Structure 1
Amino acid sequence: MIGLVMAGGKGTRMDISNEKLLLEYKKPVIFHVIDALKNSHCFSQVIVATSPNSPDTKHVLEQNRIETLSTPGNGYVNDLNFLLQKMSGSVFVTSGDLPLLDEKIIQVITEKFNSENVWTSFLVSKKFLNSLGLESSLLVNSDNIECTYTGISIINVNKIKNLNSVKENYIILDDKRIAFNLNTRKDYELLNSS
């Protein structure tokens, strides 16, 4: 399985001058995600996808000998589709802004993946997210529970024939380590106060 970190976003909701994934939480946020993937020992390869929107992140990663792939920077979905067309096998996709991600929760997630499914997205319930002081406007209903995406999916790329007709499976996993992603300055302040 390949571990793919999406790190090419603009981070516009943060309203800061620096790139979001280089914000410090003991170390730059992106390194929490990369280290968690590597330390889980679940992946044959860990790759970080950057774009023209994240030149500083790309530079820091390359200085640290982290393998990067360049995307056009046309948004998360478009950039992910661009990358998946060049890959095969199972791909664990995560956004790069999950500072609490660790190897243990990655192991739990990979064990829950059924390779018969084409696309499995991991969700947290809106109720759980709100209990952490976090909010999301991007909601999805799973088993009559209002949920939000965590930014983590596992994709069996070999089973994708047409990106428009992919059936998405959901697994709800209420865990702070995958619920806490940095979207706003308030999220970052909350992270640093915890």
Structure 2
Amino acid sequence: MIGLVMAGGKGTRMDAKEEKLLLQYKKPVVIHVIDALKSSNCFSKIMAATSDNSPNTQSLLQNNGIETIKTKGDGYVSDLNAALSYLHELTLVVSGDLPLLDGGIIKDLVASYDGGAWQSFLVTKKFLDDMNMMLEFSVNHDNKECYYTGISIVDPKKISSTNTIKETYRIIDDKRLALNLNTKRDYDLLKGA
């Protein structure tokens, strides 16, 4: 299995002077994600999708031995589709801005893979409200309002077109998946975590 870190976004909602994935939480946030993938011992290779939006992040990743796939930086979905077109084995896709990830939760996610073409991991709105957190993209699953965490397991061999994918879901209400750095408020929550 490949671990693919999405690391090519602009981070405009963060309104920071530096690239979002380079924000410090003891070390650059993207390195927390890389270290979580490494410590899980679940991956034959760890890679990152980068773009011209994040040249310093790309340099940091390459200096840490992470192979990068250059995308156009047109948005998460188009960058992900471009990166997946290069991959031919089962892939755990993770956003590069999940600083609380650790090897244990990654192992749990991989162990729960259902064998489908695309399995996304969700948290419930209730959990987010209880934790005073917000995420952006919602879906109704099991009669619950849920939000995408930015983590999926994808089998590129089972995908002919992203328009016809049967996506499955698993709810895991865990702050390691829920704290996604999209805004300054999220970064303030991280510093208090």
**Superposition TM-score tier, normalisation by shorter sequence:** over 0.9
Residue number in structure 2 paired with 1:48: 48
Relative to structure 2, which stretch is displaced further, 154-163 or 91-100?
154-163
Residue number in structure 2 paired with 1:131: 130
- Report how far residue 137 of structure 1 moved: 3.7
- Asked whether the 8 Å contact 2:102–2:176 carries over to 1, the reply is yes
- Report how far residue 68 of structure 1 moved: 1.3
Residue number in structure 1 paired with 2:77: 77
1:155 aligns with 2:154: yes
Counterpart of 1:40 in structure 2: which amino acid?
A: S
Counterpart of 1:84 in structure 2: which amino acid?
A: L
Counterpart of 1:133 in structure 2: which amino acid?
A: N
SS in structure 1 at match of 2:120: strand
Distance 1:154 1:119 in 2: 6
Divergent runs of 4+, >3 A: none
Counterpart of 1:13 in structure 2: which amino acid?
A: R
Distance 1:49 1:140 in 2: 25
Counterpart of 1:110 in structure 2: which amino acid?
A: V
Counterpart of 2:51 in structure 1: which amino acid?
A: S
- TM-score normalised to the size of structure 1? 0.97
Residue number in structure 2 paired with 1:122: 121
- Report how far residue 83 of structure 1 moved: 1.2
Distance 1:162 1:4 in 2: 19
Q: Structure 2: which 5+ residue stretches go unaligned?
A: none
Counterpart of 1:58 in structure 2: which amino acid?
A: Q
Distance 1:137 1:6 in 2: 17
- Report how far residue 189 of structure 1 moved: 0.8
Q: Structure 1: which 5+ residue stretches go unaligned?
A: none
- Report how far residue 82 of structure 1 moved: 0.8
Q: Deviations over 1:134-167 (max 9, x none)?
A: 1124211001000000000001111111221001
Q: Deviations over 1:65-101 (max 9, x none)?
A: 2221111111000011111112112110000000000
- Asked whether the 8 Å contact 2:135–2:180 carries over to 1, the reply is no
Residue number in structure 2 paired with 1:20: 20
Residue number in structure 2 paired with 1:59: 59
- Report how far residue 64 of structure 1 moved: 2.2
Residue number in structure 2 paired with 1:34: 34
SS in structure 1 at match of 2:107: helix
Residue number in structure 1 paired with 2:98: 98
Residue number in structure 1 paired with 2:163: 164
Distance 1:120 1:128 in 2: 20
- TM-score normalised to the size of structure 2? 0.97
Among all aligned residue pairs of Structure 1 and Structure 2, give the percentage whose two residues are the same amino acid.
Answer: 56
Distance 1:12 1:107 in 2: 31
SS in structure 2 at match of 1:8: coil
- What do you get for the CA RMSD once the two structures are aligned? 0.9
Distance 2:25 2:125 in 1: 25
Distance 1:156 1:171 in 2: 16
Residue number in structure 1 paired with 2:3: 3
Counterpart of 2:182 in structure 1: which amino acid?
A: N
1:182 aligns with 2:181: yes
Q: Deviations over 1:111-141 (max 9, x none)?
A: 00022x1100000001101211111242110
